[in-house]
Amino acid sequence: MHPSSTTTCTSLLQELQIIWDEIGESYNERDKMLLELEQECLDIYNKKVAKTRKYKAELQRSLAQAEAEIASLMSALGEQVSLSRKKEGSLKEQISTVKPVLEDLLMKKDLRWKEFSETLTQVAEISSNIAGNDYPVSSGPEIDESDLTQRKLDELRAHLQDLCKEKAIRLQKVNSYINAVHELSEIMSFDFLKALSNVHKSLNEFSKAHSKSISNDTLARLTELVESLEKEKHQRLLKLQGLGRTMQELWNLMETPMEERRRFDNISSLLSVPAGDALKKGCLGLDNVREAEDEVKRLNALKSSKMKELVFKRQCELEEICREVHMDVNSDAAKQSLVELIDSGDGDLSDILASIDSQIEKAKEEALTRKEILDKVDKWRHAKEEEKWLDDYEKDENRFTAVRGAHKNLKRAEKARSLISKIPAMIDGLTTKVKGWEKERGVPFLCDKHRLLEILQEDIVLRAQREEEKRQFREQKRLQGQLATEKEAKYGSKSAKKKPLGQSLNTDNVTKTPIGRRIGNTPGRSAISAGKDFRESGRGNAAIPLNYVALQKDD
């Protein structure tokens, strides 16, 4: 105990004894109060000891924590630190020795963590660019604080270097592709920036070269774009070379002057250019292609118009040959087919012309084989026309009147009767010829789109019907004459005086329509409508009218 403290306590105790003496306090009370005083002092000491013990424990815990943290930092940083402290020294001395070491390690950790953070951030950004992420990395990198060694940092930095190299290579490829697209755009005259924007919007931002997309997808699309443009360039070159050669041929054919040809010198110059050689700016633009196509189209139109004239002329010649020999030909459809074939460009005009010439030769050969039959058909048709005229002539009641030209009609009527009598033989001869012709060639003989044998057969049937009508009329006439004779015999001359027989018959002709005439007209008209144009031209189609004068001659 400190001497001053003992003196103070003794003096205080003495003063306390004096006060008790003055008070007259009993010794028991004095002992009791002294015991209480000692207990109070003991409590104070106990509290102080407990507090001091607790403080010591805190110091020990702080020292242990510091040592543990130093050990952890040494492990994380991969560094070894020697602690020159004495185990027998006080706690505060040990802590004062450990504290600087801990602070130094913490500082090193902070510096190392920043280095890790910067390196990982760059790695994440480059990896994001390579992966094709359009948005920058927003969150900070995740750092494993248990391994902040220099070795780990060196590995990250090596990885970063590899990524930087890969980024540089990719960026070089992107720039190479962009340059290729730019060169092709100048040759082919298309929108360079629009083509790049279709690949990735960052590629046309020249002020921000580092922001260009270098992802696998971008590189693949750039590769595809350049390949497609190279292919298009090759196709356009071949197309323009083909158009140029075609123009040269057509110019030579049309004898186009050099002044007109000079307008297409840019296309003519491509004829001798290999596919791999450098080309002039804009020489493969779509405008040049369209201009060349229009020129070829114009030249072909000029050539086509000249060739068309010759083709249609020969077609008309073919149609005329067919028409003369009554062969089936559809001139309108044939001309329409020729126009469509020429306009479509599917057929070569020279081939078309050669085909028409071949058809003309075949038509001429066919005409020779049909000539004999057609000559007979013309004679038969002429006979039928005369037969029709004779029918009309015999209907005229004034044919015997003395008028101008009446004698000529009488002579023609006699000749017509002679010619009409030969019609059955004409039909038989024609039928035999046509059957032989069809047997030889194995096809029906058509005349103005109708089979000639059918036309002849119909005429035979109609002629038989007409003969039957004539026979019926003659029979009717005979019965009428017989009836008139019986009446005359029965009634005598009284009836004869009133009206002679000839006059009665003529009156009967005017007032009555003979039964034979009604029968004859009906079938004849139906046959005419059924025979169409060719059969309408024949006289056999018209029904023979009933004429008493003419029929009396037959009797």
Q: What is the DSSP string of 421-449?
A: TTHHHHHHHHHHHHHHHHHHHSS--EETT
Average pLDDT, integer, range 210-234? 87
Q: How sure is the predictor about 53, in pLDDT bands with cuts at 50, 70 and 90?
A: very high
The yes-or-no verdict on residue 529 having pLDDT over 50 is no
pLDDT value of residue 82: 66
- pLDDT digits 0-9 by tens, 4-13: 555 688 888 8
Report in angstroms the alpha-carbon separations of 82 from 79, 132, 387. 10, 49, 150
Q: Contact at 8 Å (CB) between 334 and 327?
A: no
447 DSSP β-pair partners: 450
- In sequence order, the 6+-apart residues with CB closer than 8 A to the CB of 189 are 282, 284, 285, 286, 287
The yes-or-no verdict on residue 521 having pLDDT over 50 is no
CB atoms inside a 10 Å sphere around CB 360: 17
| Greater pLDDT, 334 or 91 | 91
Average pLDDT, integer, range 434-458? 81
Average pLDDT, integer, range 406-421? 82
CB atoms inside a 10 Å sphere around CB 398: 7
Q: Contact at 8 Å (CB) between 349 and 304?
A: yes
Average pLDDT, integer, range 411-417? 84
Q: How sure is the predictor about 346, in pLDDT bands with cuts at 50, 70 and 90?
A: low
pLDDT value of residue 134: 64
The residue behind tokens 């026979």 is 471
For residues 185 and 188, give the distance between their C-alpha atoms in angstroms, rounded to a whole number: 5
| Greater pLDDT, 446 or 232 | 232
- pLDDT digits 0-9 by tens, 145-187: 777 788 888 898 999 999 999 999 998 999 999 999 999 888 8
pLDDT value of residue 160: 92
| Greater pLDDT, 360 or 304 | 360
The yes-or-no verdict on residue 30 having pLDDT over 70 is yes
Q: How sure is the predictor about 537, in pLDDT bands with cuts at 50, 70 and 90?
A: very low
Q: Token pair for residue 200? A: 């990735």
Average pLDDT, integer, range 468-475? 85
The yes-or-no verdict on residue 144 having pLDDT over 80 is no
Q: At 487, which amino acid appears?
A: K
pLDDT value of residue 439: 83
Beta strands in 5-62 (DSSP E): none
The yes-or-no verdict on residue 224 having pLDDT over 50 is yes
Half-sphere exposure (Cβ direction) of 367: Cα atoms closer than 13 Å: 15
pLDDT value of residue 344: 67
**Phi, psi torsion values for 546, nearest 5 degrees:** -85, 125
**Phi, psi torsion values for 446, nearest 5 degrees:** -100, 140
Q: How sure is the predictor about 496, in pLDDT bands with cuts at 50, 70 and 90?
A: very low
pLDDT value of residue 543: 34
Q: Token pair for residue 415? A: 């000749």
Most confident of 136-150, 412-426, 515-529: 412-426
pLDDT value of residue 455: 83
The yes-or-no verdict on residue 15 having pLDDT over 80 is yes
The yes-or-no verdict on residue 143 having pLDDT over 50 is yes
pLDDT value of residue 552: 34
Q: Token pair for residue 262? A: 């000079």
Q: How sure is the predictor about 88, in pLDDT bands with cuts at 50, 70 and 90?
A: low
| Greater pLDDT, 322 or 182 | 182
| Greater pLDDT, 242 or 133 | 242
- Least confidently predicted of 68-82, 248-262, 305-319, 516-530: 516-530
Q: What percent of the chain stands above pLDDT 90?
A: 9
Most confident of 113-117, 220-224, 322-326, 404-408: 220-224
For residues 438 and 452, give the distance between their C-alpha atoms in angstroms, rounded to a whole number: 11
- Least confidently predicted of 8-22, 291-305, 495-509: 495-509
Average pLDDT, integer, range 66-84? 76
For residues 182 and 304, give the distance between their C-alpha atoms in angstroms, rounded to a whole number: 42
Long-range contacts of 88-91 (CB under 8 A, 24+ apart): 91/56, 91/59, 91/60, 91/63
Report in angstroms the alpha-carbon separations of 324 from 370, 378, 444, 447. 11, 12, 18, 11
* CA 158 to the chain's CA centroid: 54
Cα–Cα nearest to 536, from 467, 455, 444: 455
For residues 86 and 97, give the distance between their C-alpha atoms in angstroms, rounded to a whole number: 9
pLDDT value of residue 43: 93
The yes-or-no verdict on residue 520 having pLDDT over 50 is no
Q: Contact at 8 Å (CB) between 189 and 287?
A: yes
- In sequence order, the 6+-apart residues with CB closer than 8 A to the CB of 362 are none
Predicted TM-score (pTM) of this structure: 0.46
Cα–Cα nearest to 213, from 288, 130, 274, 335: 130
Q: Contact at 8 Å (CB) between 129 and 215?
A: yes
- Calculate the average pLDDT of the chain: 76
The yes-or-no verdict on residue 488 having pLDDT over 90 is no
- Least confidently predicted of 291-300, 339-348, 350-359: 339-348
DSSP letters for 75-133: HHHT--------TTS-HHHHHHHHHHHHHHHHHHHHHHHHHHHHHHHHHHHHHHHHHT-
DSSP letters for 484-511: HHHHHHHHTHHHHHHS-HHHHHHHHHHH
The yes-or-no verdict on residue 491 having pLDDT over 70 is yes
